Structure 1
Amino acid sequence: MEVRLHAQEDEITLLKSSLADALRKLRLHDQQIPLLKQQLIAGKRNSLFQCANIKIFPQVYWYFKCIATDFISIKMFIRGRPITMYIPSNILNYEELRMDLPSQKLDLDWVYGYRGRDCRANLYLLPSGEAVYFIACVVVLYHISNQTQRHYQKHTDCVRCLAIHPDKVRVASGQTAGVDKDGKPLQPFVHIWDSKTLVTLQQIGLGTFERGVGALAFSSSDAGTFLCVIDDSNEHMLSVWDWNKNIKHVEVKSTNEAVLGVDFSPTDTNNIISCGKSHVYFWTLSACTLTKKQGIFGKYKKPKFVLCFVFSLTGDVLTGDSEGNILTWGKSAADTKTLGKGAKETFQIMKQTRAHEGSVFTMCILQGGAILSGGGKDRKVIRWSADLAPERECEIPEKFGAVRTIADVDGEELLVGTTRNAILRGTFSDGFVAIVQGHVDEMWGLATHPTQNIFLTCGNDRQVCVWNAEDHKLDWCTTLEESGLCADFSPNGGVVSVGLSTGRWVVLDLQTKEVVSDLTDGNEQLSVMRYSPDGSFLAVGSHDNFIYIYNVTEGGRRYTRFGKCTGHSSFITHLDWSKDGKYIMSNSGDYEILYWDVASGCKLLRNRFESKDREWASYTCVLGFHVMGVWLEGSDGTDINALCRSHSESMVAVADDFCKVHLFQYPCPKPKAPSYKYEGHGSHVTNVRFTHNDSHLLSMGGKDTCILQWRVKGAGTGDHSKEHLASSSSVCSSSSSPVNGT
């Protein structure tokens, strides 16, 4: 019923917008008749109508219609919704426009963030001095001393787990399955790769694992010959591979409960342990079969989750659980009296140690046998002696969350991954500071500074973060009362406005972080904030279908209502100012393109033909003549979340709903325009923005909480749109099919 209700609401919205469009067309038709008569009398054209070709695709299709000499329009249909766009006057022959690949390309330069909120055992230190961890589809190798990053980018969906080979060079990383753009499941796999060269050595499990890879581990006692993998299927299949030969030796159903960790015994490859919800299993590998024994808690309270385990140097197994306890499991002799001669030794609980308030999320063994544990509710890192006597402890600051995982650097210095997606570096004596930080919930707001390599992000975690794109640091972060969904810097760079989920918006001073203005427009979420080129106006686009216009004075610190743009029949999605600061172009949720004369009292320009030659200070509207070609065949109207034209006006970056960033030539006014396609995000890409000098592109994932910084390589600034369109119109060869980059 809910699905049918939503479908009916969509149909009603489209009907309303179609009716509004029909009324506007009637008015436009009345306005155009006198002009057409004048053109006919002047003999400018022998025939009134001349039709070009029609191209029809499943969801998005185009209809090209030529009316007289100066009236060339293109109809683009999205989900049956007609969108009319007029070709600029300088286009002499639209049919012969050639769409080329952009002269620039992108290289992944930096990855902001870490996935600690729902993954574990995913932070290690390599002998090279690099910390290895992951977020979204990228495994990051971050050299802490040199402040440099390298990236392993061969995964096609979110990475979920990591394991380091005993040689400390080779790495195994497993990913989730994901879905393609048609909703069909993609197969998960494990990559084994060389951390020095980033060369993939082996891919295993394609077609074997279901849903994703949840946990994996290399064997230790045989120099890492085998790899154990547990997938995310209902039965959590456990398999053991000779990974170098890509041979699966054994596979068995593990449990229907969640599995959180797996590892080989450091002294015997035939012994494997796994743990998870209400269980710890001791596996024995023999003659290509796996048998398991469940750990018996006996007189000790059975925890809801066994979250982690390590092998002590004495051969015992230590488990950390959701009750805050560390349990010591020791081998006991076989019970031959009860079970007969074939009975084998078992693991039993020898000791319970109260360790943390809340869960014990992680443990690791230091070289001398000392043990480190990390807590949930108490956020403590505790160092224990080999016999579990507490020696030292420290508490992680609350803003970073609980301790998710610990990596030993040199016995004294530690790396700590946290549940709020931060990586901390420090010691018990000096405390810990963040070296990696990120958002912890879906992000939508992204803005770049007009003169500096600084950018701002905001999202559903209520954090507003200002980043430095040069030194890759978080300059500052503040927490708001509501989710931040959109933002824009004032042209003077002194303040930034942030639109929130309740219709409220705030203006922050970039230096002091103080709120210098706090206003509210309507009671629905705001979707776009945009200053005029000279900073004298601010346009606020809302989900209540209105665009609110404000006068801006005192360097962006004072705002007074100037007017309201009324006429959209659905929520505002994107808007841009003209270069002279007098007009606005806007898009809405029902795929409208409307134009507004702000200087004349926020008047709706009903004759959209008059705006065909207008130049725009920015281009972030996803619907418009200059970006029509970014829509692929068969696209749904929601497939593109955001786009951004470069300041040089030579390229346009597109954020799509399928984890991809595209780079097109700008302008891009024809279907089937070729593009370079870039992967790295593990969720819908919500926003893209170029830095002020076009040296970098920022892209932001939604639920993957990942910010990717791409370096722009290639040709210079390029031609401006008007000049480029004019030159392109004289080329007679038409475009080829889209070309994808790597």
Structure 2
Amino acid sequence: NNLTFTGTISGDVCVWKEHILIRIVAKAHTGPVFTMYTTLRDGLIVTGGKERPSKDGGALKLWDQELKRCRAFRLETGQIIDCVRSVCRGKGKILVGTRNAEIIEVGEKNAACNILVSGHMDGPIWGLGTHPSRDVFLSAAEDGTVRLWDIPEKISAGLFSFQNNLTFTGTISGDVCVWKEHILIRIVAKAHTGPVFTMYTTLRDGLIVTGGKERPSKDGGALKLWDQELKRCRAFRLETGQIIDCVRSVCRGKGKILVGTRNAEIIEVGEKNAACNILVSGHMDGLIWGLGTHPSRDVFLSAAEDGTVRLWDIPEKVSTGAYKRLVYEVPSGKQVTDQMVIDRTTWATWTSVLGDEVVGIWSRTTDKADVTCACVSHSGLNVVTGDDFGMVSTGAYKRLVYEVPSGKQVTDQMVIDRTTWATWTSVLGDEVVGIWSRTTDKADVTCACVSHSGLNVVTGDDFGMVKLFDFPCPEKFAKHKRFLGHAAHLTNIRFTSGDRYVISAGGDDRR
């Protein structure tokens, strides 16, 4: 039914119709949901998470197609808390990989548990896969190995594939090894000039797709399509504009190849015409910390730990560019590298805690992470003096006000109270007391932003919630509207031009 199910760290399961969240299965597990599995055969869904065994619940659950009814299984591991890291299902049995490197077989009808193997050396079992016809399965674990197991014999049996019992493995040197069961029969030397990171094949025609790290050339590229025996290939250029392309994942179907790159792009490549189309692009690593909206257009900038700043088109929901510097022309997105131009620029708003203009906000004992956000008022709106003020919220949950650019701290409370701020992104202050709920700890509300009209304030918290309040909200526990779309804490939030949209940046979910 074109539905997607995602698990969260809070134990909920979110049900999506395309990109729209339509339902939340609250507390599907009491702890985080780590893994999910389904099949086209019957559509039943297996979930695995972290949960204390009980009479009515456990870390392994089998759900109906719509995730409305479930059956819980106890794993009988003897642990106080069970932690399921991977699941796989077939032939009336469920295979479970645990945090303790055990692989357990669970019967769907009788719920009988049988510890099949405990052969990996270290850490959780992250991946499991069964063979469509034989009593064998694959496991991948934290110890860096992939093992093939013979279920009747309960021993590691080597490697297998669907085509003529051959298996193909890629190496860091760019070679591809061809195996007959567990015997190496051939090496395809320099299939790629760099490491081979991913491979994909189908039962339909047996053609093999490989992806690796390679410099684009007239005759070669990081994506290649091979025949069944890996003797002839066709190379595709990805047209990413990078000096070296790096393909991390591939998938193939309906005459097209989907490619996932190191730079978090998903590219569609036509097999016949080799046409490339970038479907999705985004930040590739780390948390998204910075957001900035355009004053009149439906575009915004985001900055993340991957070291890039990206320009996004809101209606199209796509990234239109990625940049490595901190200063750009808007709306063109053109990079500004002339330091004299940067130094002579007068900024309409300021929310950065870095720069020569705000050096004074850092004390001798302040750690880099202590000052988390800043805001500067317009001189025309300051009813006290003609000077600009900057307001910061520190890691110690104190609101401090400074003169800009001198950096001198303002301690006169009357001056602070009479200041009208041009923008507001602080979670502290008498104006936003109401954003803190009864059960909220100091660290729970992570970001806030007042609308351009000054009528509303939107917040993000550690539970993935976006909340909309009236502004100001000086009374405790103010009424609000709640919205859920993130699986983890939020790092930043902003209104767009005209207050038509709210842009939120996730932390661990990197959305």
> Are 1:414 and 2:257 matched, yes or no?
yes
The code of the aligned residue for 1:434 comes to I
> Are 1:238 and 2:103 matched, yes or no?
yes
User: Whole-Å Cα distance in 1 between the matches of residues 33 and 349 of structure 2?
Assistant: 41
Structure 1 residue 265 displacement after superposition: 0.9
For residues 91-490 of structure 1, the aligned pairs below 5 Å read 154=25, 163-167=37-41, 194=65, 199-200=67-68, 202=70, 214-219=85-90, 222=91, 225-231=92-98, 233=99, 235-242=100-107, 247=111, 249-251=113-115, 252-257=117-122, 259=125, 261-268=127-134, 270-275=135-140, 277=143, 279-286=145-152, 291-295=154-158, 311-322=161-172, 324-330=174-180, 347-354=182-189, 355-356=191-192, 357-376=194-213, 380-396=222-238, 397=240, 399=242, 402-410=246-254, 412-428=255-271, 429-441=273-285, 442-480=287-325
User: Whole-Å Cα distance in 2 between the matches of residues 241 and 678 of structure 1?
Assistant: 38
Inter-CA distance 607–569: structure 2 relative to 1 (3 Å threshold): farther
Deviations 1:375-400 (A, max 9, x none): 25677233222233233222444759
User: Whole-Å Cα distance in 2 between the matches of residues 680 and 311 of structure 1?
Assistant: 39
SS in 2 for 1:547: helix
Structure 1 residue 172 displacement after superposition: 5.3
Structure 1 residue 444 displacement after superposition: 0.9
Deviations 1:55-114 (A, max 9, x none): xxxxxxxxxxxxxxxxxxxxxxxxxxxxxxxxxxxxxxxxxxxxxxxxxxxxxxxxxxxx
User: Whole-Å Cα distance in 2 between the matches of residues 368 and 150 of structure 1?
Assistant: 37
The code of the aligned residue for 2:428 comes to L
Structure 1 residue 545 displacement after superposition: 10
Inter-CA distance 204–697: structure 2 relative to 1 (3 Å threshold): farther
1:546 and 1:568 in contact (8 A); partners too: no
User: Whole-Å Cα distance in 1 between the matches of residues 431 and 156 of structure 2?
Assistant: 65
Inter-CA distance 648–478: structure 2 relative to 1 (3 Å threshold): same
1:629 aligned to 434, 446, 450, which one?
434
2:336 and 2:342 in contact (8 A); partners too: no
User: Whole-Å Cα distance in 2 between the matches of residues 446 and 279 of structure 1?
Assistant: 40
User: Whole-Å Cα distance in 1 between the matches of residues 438 and 291 of structure 2?
Assistant: 28
> Are 1:671 and 2:492 matched, yes or no?
no
Inter-CA distance 418–452: structure 2 relative to 1 (3 Å threshold): same
User: Whole-Å Cα distance in 2 between the matches of residues 509 and 637 of structure 1?
Assistant: 36
Structure 1 residue 699 displacement after superposition: 1.3
Inter-CA distance 352–603: structure 2 relative to 1 (3 Å threshold): closer
Aligned to 1:692: 497
Structure 1 residue 425 displacement after superposition: 0.9
**Number of corresponding residues:** 471
SS in 1 for 2:277: strand
The structure number with the bigger radius of gyration is: 1
Structure 1 residue 609 displacement after superposition: 2.8
Inter-CA distance 174–389: structure 2 relative to 1 (3 Å threshold): farther
Structure 1 residue 457 displacement after superposition: 0.2
Deviations 1:365-422 (A, max 9, x none): 2512222232256772332222332332224447596333222221x21112233322
2:45 and 2:64 in contact (8 A); partners too: yes
Structure 1 residue 587 displacement after superposition: 2.3
Aligned to 2:334: 513
User: Whole-Å Cα distance in 2 between the matches of residues 135 and 320 of structure 1?
Assistant: 31
Structure 1 residue 467 displacement after superposition: 0.7
Deviations 1:569-594 (A, max 9, x none): 95473225269433535124244434
Structure 1 residue 620 displacement after superposition: 1.1
Inter-CA distance 264–351: structure 2 relative to 1 (3 Å threshold): farther
User: Whole-Å Cα distance in 1 between the matches of residues 457 and 17 of structure 2?
Assistant: 30
1:546 and 1:567 in contact (8 A); partners too: no
Structure 1 residue 568 displacement after superposition: 11
User: Whole-Å Cα distance in 1 between the matches of residues 262 and 74 of structure 2?
Assistant: 30
SS in 1 for 2:295: coil
Deviations 1:270-315 (A, max 9, x none): 32122455644332334xxx712253xxxxxxxxxxxxx8732434
SS in 1 for 2:498: coil
Deviations 1:535-573 (A, max 9, x none): 87554653699737xxxxxxxxxxxxxxx7899995473
User: Whole-Å Cα distance in 1 between the matches of residues 508 and 121 of structure 2?
Assistant: 27
Structure 1 residue 672 displacement after superposition: 3.5
SS in 1 for 2:424: coil
SS in 1 for 2:427: coil
Greater mean alpha carbon deviation, residues 154-163 or residues 320-329:
154-163
1:271 and 1:285 in contact (8 A); partners too: yes
User: Whole-Å Cα distance in 1 between the matches of residues 144 and 364 of structure 2?
Assistant: 55
Gaps of 5+ in 1: 1-126, 179-186, 296-308, 332-346, 481-497, 499-505, 523-530, 549-563, 707-742
User: Whole-Å Cα distance in 1 between the matches of residues 5 and 324 of structure 2?
Assistant: 26
Aligned to 1:740: none
1:166 and 1:218 in contact (8 A); partners too: no
User: Whole-Å Cα distance in 2 between the matches of residues 578 and 170 of structure 1?
Assistant: 58
User: Whole-Å Cα distance in 2 between the matches of residues 627 and 388 of structure 1?
Assistant: 64
Structure 1 residue 451 displacement after superposition: 1.9
Deviations 1:212-236 (A, max 9, x none): 65444343xx4xx4443323x2x32
The code of the aligned residue for 2:466 comes to V
The code of the aligned residue for 1:630 comes to I
1:158 and 1:682 in contact (8 A); partners too: no
The code of the aligned residue for 1:359 comes to V
CA RMSD of aligned residues (A): 4.5
Which structure carries more relative contact order (alpha carbon 8 Å, separation 6+)? Answer: 1
Inter-CA distance 261–350: structure 2 relative to 1 (3 Å threshold): farther
Aligned to 2:422: 617
SS in 2 for 1:508: coil
Superposition TM-score, scaled by structure 2 size:
0.74
2:284 and 2:306 in contact (8 A); partners too: yes
Inter-CA distance 380–606: structure 2 relative to 1 (3 Å threshold): closer
User: Whole-Å Cα distance in 1 between the matches of residues 62 and 281 of structure 2?
Assistant: 26
Structure 1 residue 150 displacement after superposition: 6.1
1:310 and 1:318 in contact (8 A); partners too: no
- Pick the structure with more helix per residue: 1
User: Whole-Å Cα distance in 1 between the matches of residues 7 and 266 of structure 2?
Assistant: 12
User: Whole-Å Cα distance in 2 between the matches of residues 509 and 701 of structure 1?
Assistant: 24
> Are 1:574 and 2:374 matched, yes or no?
yes
The code of the aligned residue for 2:136 comes to N
The code of the aligned residue for 1:253 comes to S
Deviations 1:585-644 (A, max 9, x none): 512424443446779x88765431344355433321221111123234575554433211
Deviations 1:633-683 (A, max 9, x none): 575554433211234544422223454434444333233445555554344
User: Whole-Å Cα distance in 2 between the matches of residues 193 and 693 of structure 1?
Assistant: 44
1:508 and 1:516 in contact (8 A); partners too: no
